[in-house]
Amino acid sequence: MTTRDRLLGLTVVVLWGLNFLAIRIGLDHFPPFFFVALRFAVIAIPVLIFVPRPAVRTRWLLLYGAGFGIAQFAFLFTAMRVGMPTGLASLVLQSSAPFTVVLGAVLLRERLRPVQLAGLAVAVAGMTIIAADRFATATLLPVLLTLAGGLGWAFGNIGARQAGADSPGVDPLHLTLWMSVVPVLPMLALSMLVEGPGTGFRALGTAVTTAAGWPALAALAYIAVLATVCGSGLWTYLMSRYPAGTVAPLSLLVPVVGIAAAWLALGEQPSAAALLGGVIVIAGAFAATSTRRAAPVQEPEPRPRLAGV
């Protein structure tokens, strides 16, 4: 991975790390399934009108949208609504990285170099240190729901990877924008079925008409524009250029930002063990995204010319 693309990956890390604060603010006002539908509807409506559909196979677009958009956020938002701490959620969701590596190796037959495997193992060890230090703050159900969200994200990564591989010239931003169309109707139907037909719309009306709801609208804007359009667009670009096992470990850096942001904004103070685990995660993630330098091309020696030729 080039230095430029690593910097783009780090930009995604910051956007997604701060995204957990926005999710917490939004979930204080909106029910989780409706919030998922709303965050994607904000993008999907103008996309359907103004953005041409990317020339990718429908099955990969649906896999991308169902994994990244539906499964990831339906499980994550529910987990945070039922008690998952913000910082811990940002950590456990990064289970998507090892899930993606496994799915990439099993489904796509991607080969992993020893340094990538070692870096991934180090990063997972760092996550384990943080998790062991913080698991006491969450019950089992929210943790399991967040892990299910991580698995959904991994399937979405595979869909994005295959869409880019099948159509090398596809615009990553267009692909991300059209992915946002997929979750809207399924999540809206699920919200009406589980949360009640009018619950989400009443919450939206309150957010628009009262000052108390403005933070939720600001959180919605951050999630839709910065986290989804910008963050996911850059992520899709990276997934289309590199193997899933190379890009996915970058997501292991997100909990470092998420835990720090939760500490500063919500008072979720990390311990020394959590900080140590964060340093280990950073080291392992950078090792896992390293690439072998190409061997220098040697010019062939000129053949001796025969006299008279």
- Give per-residue pLDDT as tens, 85-101: 898 888 888 888 788 87
Position 145 scores a pLDDT of 93
**91, 262 contact by CB (below 8 A):** no
Q: In this model, does residue 304 exceed pLDDT 50?
A: no
Spatial separation of the C-alpha atoms in residues 110 and 108, rounded to whole Å: 5
What is the pTM assigned to this prediction? 0.83
- On the 0-12 / 13-18 / 19+ scale of CB atoms within 10 A, 108 is middle
Question: Can you give the pLDDT at residue 98?
Answer: 80
Q: What is the dihedral angle through the alpha carbons of 221, 57, 250, 130, rounded to the nearest 10 degrees? A: 80
Q: Which two tokens stand for residue 242?
A: 């590199």
142, 132, 95, 118: which is closest to 272 by C-alpha? 132
Query: In the chain, where does DSSP find H-type helix?
Result: 3-27, 32-50, 58-64, 72-81, 86-92, 96-107, 114-134, 140-166, 172-179, 184-194, 199-209, 214-221, 233-241, 244-247, 254-266, 272-288
For residue 272, is pLDDT > 90? no
pLDDT of residue 300 exceeding 50: no
Mean pLDDT of all residues in 135-153: 84
Q: Crossing angle of helices 72-81/32-50, nearest 10°?
A: 150
What pLDDT is attached to residue 136? 64
Closest CA to 249 of 111, 131, 94: 94
pLDDT(120) > 90: no
Q: Which residue has the higher pLDDT, 120 or 160?
A: 160
What distance in Å separates the CA atoms of residue 254 and residue 20, rounded to the nearest whole number?
10
pLDDT > 50? residue 294:
no
- Residue type for position 101: V
**More confident call, 190 vs 131:** 190
- Minimum mean pLDDT among 52-56, 76-80, 97-101, 255-259: which range? 97-101
**Position of tokens 């041409």?**
52
